[in-house]
Chains A and B, each alone.
Chain A
Amino acid sequence: MAMPMESPISFTNVGKIKWWQRGIFASQTGYVLLALAVLLVIMHFASPYFFTEGNMQNVAKNFSFIAIATLGVTFVIITGGIDLSVGSMMCFSAMITSMVMTELSAPGSPLVHMAADGKTVLANVPGLILLISVLAGLGVALIAGLVNGFCIAVLGLSPFVTTLGMLSIVRGLGYVVSNGRGSFPGGPDADYFYALTSGDVLGVPVPFIYLVILALAMAVVLHHSAFGRHVFALGGNEKAAELTGIPVVRVKIEVYVICALAAGLQGIIISGWLGSAPANMATSYELNVIAAAVIGGANLAGGIGGPLGAIVGCVLLEVIRNGLVLAQVSSYWQQTLVGVIIILAVLVDRIRSRMS
């Protein structure tokens, strides 16, 4: 109190944290990005085919097939939760989308009115069937996300158990509606559907474009909106979030809905690439998705994660898979290696935080 109130604050006792010890440079994402760069260089020398346009397109397409769902699950992981139902959700959304599309296009179906030209009324508006069927697919994802969020945020059930249950429920419902046979996108809008899910623009695969747009949107939401701030606060200290007046229940429900929607969209895109939505599609994809998020630096304890990490994790997994194929290593090794990398990534992060 000896000092007058007007004197400016000084930082004589508190050093500034060096730039390389903060932000991305001090994060697991940074280290894994570095590892990825090294790996890319090694691949370049190991295989002349790796950096060809065709292979790059292939890699971009393949990692985009899990990266959108990884973005969604990253939201959940940042809040300290987990969503195991993403794999089943992908399948169910894809299935509903292609079934609705086929149903609305089929003459004689009880749900649709016929126009004078023998096609259904909806089919006469280009793209309308596609729009309705994609919305239907995302709609079921929305409902599943709401149920997850309600059970976890309102009823207070554990996220692991709730979403494990949802994994089974949604997979089961997929078998119920399809009778285990799977379904195919059909009707006049199927061509639009394929163009929008597995086509490319100027050589860039469409799923990759969606991924970039969604990742940028996610970065803005996480770091520049109050919602994103609350997502991080929830993962850092849930009790504090509650006491400071953050609507904890609402934020939690929202992240599970976002995650389910991302998984649904991912499933719809995959089914366009596959040309069908088989009932066993995306089985155990939740493990790849969570592995990618964790390798990219999302912390399962909550509070840390981001879109860059999610994408880096997916790219790393895909480059390794692709590299092993190009190097003619048995693809059975792939899974083993992925496991090793998960542990290594977390281990390096632990060693780094011990040292600082």
Chain B
Amino acid sequence: MAHVDATPVLELQGIGKEFGAIRALHDVDLQVQPGEVVGLMGDNGAGKSTLVKIIAGNFRPSHGEIRFAGNAVHFNRPVDARGVGIEVVYQDLALSDNLTAAANVFLGRELKRKFGPIALLDHKAMAARALELFGELRSETRPDDLVKQMSGGQRQAVAIARTRLSNARLVMMDEPTAAISVRQVEQVLGLIHRLKEQGVAVMLISHRMPDVFAVCDRVIVMRRGEKRADKPIHETSPEEITALITGAKEAA
């Protein structure tokens, strides 16, 4: 469970975001502890994706401060967020179908070997490391297979393996179980457990109530751009969360 005494890996203070006249987020505070799995729920338009995009460095917040592992951070691009240890598994997974699993895992940070002035790709080292990561994630995925020939669960594993390259401290997953089969949902939830075991904090953005209740330690509910609830999972119920999401219950 949450390590209450440790420095939170991510801390948001008074985050707000306006797009012109539209207020997408207002005064959001939240903390995520190392090794904690936090579910982020809310209806469409509640501000979940804006929040995720601010944390991932796609947008800058209009107000408020982001602290990562105790230090204030400002991200201009997604690469900046990745630099400090925030990895995002995007809903469409951001994979190149025409490349192999290993190539996708290392996309943008390929391992190279120097031959004099020329740096060539180190295919062997990348395949070996990718196989190791798939092993850690318990995914039966061959590094040399093309991503287009893979199942939804395997593709998810490739996208998650990518986050394990750089010892990320916070992994945000956007709807990882939305488009895959029941068996594969089990695999993905297993992968989240494994990240947690390794002390990585996970933010799970999902519409699927059973998944959130299966893996999360805490659930945060967003509605109309504000945080309406932030409760340990054992102190709440799917019914209460549904009421919070729809607005039947204002706050908890």
Residue contact A233 to B99, C-beta cutoff 8 Å: yes
Contact (A237, B96) CB under 8 Å given A243-B90, A244-B108, A245-B79: yes
A5 to B133 Cα, complex, angstroms: 12
Residue contact B108 to A237, C-beta cutoff 8 Å: no
Cβ 8 A contact of A246, one of B97, B107, B112: B107
Q: Which residues of B contact A16 (CB under 8 A)?
A: 142
Interface of A is mostly: loop
Residue contact A12 to B98, C-beta cutoff 8 Å: no
Residue contact A5 to B136, C-beta cutoff 8 Å: yes
**Interface residues in A11-61 (C-beta closer than 8 Å to B):** 11-14, 16-17, 22
Residue contact B121 to A303, C-beta cutoff 8 Å: no
Cβ 8 A contact of B107, one of A3, A13, A229: A229
Contact (A303, B78) CB under 8 Å given A9-B131, A12-B140: no
Residue of B at shortest CB range from A356?
Answer: B149
A239 to B119 Cα, complex, angstroms: 26
Contact (A225, B119) CB under 8 Å given A244-B108, A246-B107: yes
Residue contact B97 to A237, C-beta cutoff 8 Å: yes
Contact (A303, B110) CB under 8 Å given A1-B190, A9-B131, A14-B140: no
Cβ 8 A contact of B96, one of A3, A240, A245: A240
Most buried by B among A1, A13, A240: A240
Q: Which residues of B contact A355 (CB under 8 A)?
A: none
Q: How many residues of A contact B (CB 8 A)?
A: 34
Residue contact A245 to B142, C-beta cutoff 8 Å: no
Determine if B223 is an interface residue (Cβ-Cβ < 8 Å): no
Closest Cβ of chain A to B74, distance in Å, is 18
A9 to B131 Cα, complex, angstroms: 8
Q: Which residues of B contact A244 (CB under 8 A)?
A: 94, 107-108, 162
Q: Which residues of A contact B110 (CB under 8 A)?
A: 226, 229
Residue of B at shortest CB range from A303?
Answer: B98
Cβ 8 A contact of A303, one of B97, B138, B140, B190: B97
Closest Cβ of chain B to A81, distance in Å, is 15
Determine if B145 is an interface residue (Cβ-Cβ < 8 Å): yes
Closest Cβ of chain B to A80, distance in Å, is 10
Residue of A at shortest CB range from B107?
Answer: A244
Residue of B at shortest CB range from A247?
Answer: B108
Q: How many residues of B contact A (CB 8 A)?
A: 41
Closest Cβ of chain B to A64, distance in Å, is 26
Determine if A304 is an interface residue (Cβ-Cβ < 8 Å): yes
Interface string of B126-153 (1 = CB under 8 A from A): 0000010011101111100110010000
Closest Cβ of chain B to A249, distance in Å, is 13
Closest Cβ of chain B to A285, distance in Å, is 28
Q: Which residues of A contact B90 (CB under 8 A)?
A: 243
Determine if A10 is an interface residue (Cβ-Cβ < 8 Å): yes
Interface string of A211-232 (1 = CB under 8 A from B): 0000000001001111001101
Residue contact B135 to A8, C-beta cutoff 8 Å: yes
Residue contact B78 to A226, C-beta cutoff 8 Å: no
Determine if B120 is an interface residue (Cβ-Cβ < 8 Å): yes
Interface string of A290-318 (1 = CB under 8 A from B): 00000000000001100000000000000
Residue contact A17 to B138, C-beta cutoff 8 Å: no
Residue contact B78 to A245, C-beta cutoff 8 Å: yes
Q: Which residues of B contact A225 (CB under 8 A)?
A: 118-121
Q: Which residues of A contact B118 (CB under 8 A)?
A: 225
Cβ 8 A contact of A224, one of B99, B120, B141: B120
A245 to B141 Cα, complex, angstroms: 24
A93 to B102 Cα, complex, angstroms: 41
Q: Which residues of B contact A13 (CB under 8 A)?
A: 140
9 cross-chain CB contacts under 8 A: A1-B190, A11-B142, A232-B103, A237-B94, A237-B95, A239-B94, A240-B93, A303-B97, A304-B98
**What 5 A-B pairs are tightest by C-beta distance, nearest first?**
A236-B96, A303-B98, A240-B94, A244-B108, A245-B108
Beyond contacts A241-B108, A304-B98: 5 other A-B pairs, Cβ-Cβ < 8 A, are A9-B138, A226-B112, A229-B107, A233-B103, A303-B96
Chain B residues near A (Cβ < 8 Å): 78-79, 82, 88, 90, 92-99, 103, 107-110, 112, 118-121, 123, 131, 134-136, 138-142, 145-146, 149, 154, 162, 190, 193-194
